A and B are shown apart, each in its own frame.
Chain A
Amino acid sequence: MQKSTIQFLLINCFLAIVLISCGSVTKNYTPKKLDKTSYTVPYFTDSKADYVYKTNISVYGNELSGIFIAKKINDTTHRVVFTTEFGNKLMDFEISETDFKVNSIVSELDRKILIHTLKEDFRLLLKKEYQIQEQFENESADIYKSADGKRDNYIFISKKDQKLEKIVHASKTKEKFTLLFNSENNIFAEKIQIIHQNIKLKIDLQQLKSE
């Protein structure tokens, strides 16, 4: 009897831990009344601008550096090119919300899983418009929840200066990857980080200032 009580308690404790750790992504956010139904991202939207960044990609302990270039080529599509510092093109994609085209990729990087991951990352990075279904807040930001297929995107707008500072791509229970933005003018993001929570992948983008 005593033994089974202990077992019961242990199972309960275990369940409790599992339930806590599997809690909703929004558990630390406070629900709030919806103040808008859509949000338009200010970055990567100017078709006249060349978005050029010095880039470091850290993947499972390996470092890869180069130049990240994005350009809006029509209403729906961005061209994304990654080159070495020397100028050699490593990959060249065309991305829209619905389409994805690989123009070229060096054979060393031609891996399905890598291309798929980068496609998801860049698509979110370049996404312009979000439909909002729910709203939350924490101490420093208003948080807008936007459905993305089976997953959700959480858009963090700082309370202090109304800048887009973070987008979290998450399943119902887990954060998958996060985009962090630093921007002076809320038009151009000088510094961007793409951090994956479930794989060891981090992409740092730092604006390449022309002299």
Chain B
Amino acid sequence: MKTKIALLILFISGSLFAQEQKMSAAEIAQFKEDVNVVAKKIKTLSTDFFQYKHLDFLSKDIETSGKMIFKEPALLQWQYKKPYNYSITFKNGKILINDEGKKSAVDIGNSKIFARINKLIVGSVSGNMFDDKEFTISYFKLKGQNLAKFIPKDATLKKYIKQIELTFDKEEATVVQVKLLESSEDYTRIVLKNKVINAKIDDSVFTN
């Protein structure tokens, strides 16, 4: 019995360690500083992404993947390659879409929300996302990673997105995962892999 309890305690404390721990004020300041220093050096960024759409009632996440390209100050493109070809480009306040060759520059229903999420993602690589006018931000430590959670202050945005979580690699101080939680227990998780920083990217890439 004693052993069982001991094991249980060990297990519980073990899982506590595995979970996220709140950062101290000093750690938050250091983390922000690290991200800002790296972000300032980033002129371009391209990365593979793997998107997992989780809906509570589905048996499996819906998986899509492709490439994301960013260029300073605010050119951003998501190219979905699997299982379909679809790209969405943010450029000069416009949204350009290429859907299996069908091109459009139409604002989709929730583009405002979309633009704000992307502003946040752009912000996370360009270093000006820790602006707490728009979000209530909390900071956590994980094993080898840092985690920042953003809760929208704006009621309209909050209706669609309950919380945004950005996971950073501790060493590189860049984003490795974006998680967008919707009002219910549904979320979109995007994992970024094979990052290339400051390769030459021509502006002409950012078109549909």
Chain A residues packing against B (C-beta within 8 Å): 48-50, 52, 54, 56, 62-65, 67, 69, 71, 73, 79, 81, 83-90, 104, 106, 108-109, 208-211
Contact partner, A86, options B60, B78, B184, Cβ 8 Å: B78
Min C-beta distance of A118 to chain B, whole Å: 14
Q: Do B62 and A211 touch (CB < 8 A)?
A: no
Q: Looking at A54, A84, A86, A209, which has the most chain B CB atoms within 10 Å of its CB?
A: A86
CA distance A134 to B118 in the complex (A): 55
Are A83 and B58 CB-contacts (below 8 A) given A63-B106, A106-B109? no
Return the chain B residue nearest A91 by Cβ: B109
Are A56 and B99 CB-contacts (below 8 A) given A84-B114, A108-B110, A109-B109? yes
8 A Cβ contacts from B163-199 to A: 180, 182-184, 186, 188
B31 at the A interface (CB under 8 A): no
A89 contacts across to B, CB distance below 8 A: 160, 182, 186
Return the chain B residue nearest A50 by Cβ: B58
Q: Do B83 and A209 touch (CB < 8 A)?
A: yes
CA distance A86 to B65 in the complex (A): 11
Q: Do B106 and A62 touch (CB < 8 A)?
A: yes
Q: Do A88 and B110 touch (CB < 8 A)?
A: yes
Tally of contact residues, B, Cβ under 8 A: 34
Counted as pairs of residues, one from A and one from B, with CB atoms less than 8 Å apart, the total is: 81
Chain B residues packing against A (C-beta within 8 Å): 51, 53, 55, 57-60, 62-64, 78, 80, 82-84, 86, 88, 97, 99, 102, 104, 106, 108-110, 113-114, 160, 180, 182-184, 186, 188
Known: A65-B86, A106-B109, A108-B109. 5 other contacts (CB 8 A): A64-B108, A71-B58, A88-B114, A88-B188, A90-B109
Contact partner, B188, options A69, A86, A211, Cβ 8 Å: A86
Contact partner, A106, options B84, B88, B160, Cβ 8 Å: B160
CA distance A63 to B53 in the complex (A): 23
29 A/B residue pairs, CB under 8 Å, sorted by A: A48-B59, A52-B62, A63-B99, A63-B102, A63-B104, A64-B109, A65-B108, A71-B58, A73-B57, A81-B55, A83-B53, A85-B86, A86-B51, A86-B88, A86-B114, A87-B51, A88-B110, A88-B114, A88-B180, A106-B109, A106-B110, A108-B110, A109-B109, A208-B84, A209-B83, A210-B62, A210-B63, A210-B83, A211-B63
B180 contacts across to A, CB distance below 8 A: 87-88
A87 contacts across to B, CB distance below 8 A: 51, 53, 180, 188
Min C-beta distance of B175 to chain A, whole Å: 16
Min C-beta distance of A183 to chain B, whole Å: 19
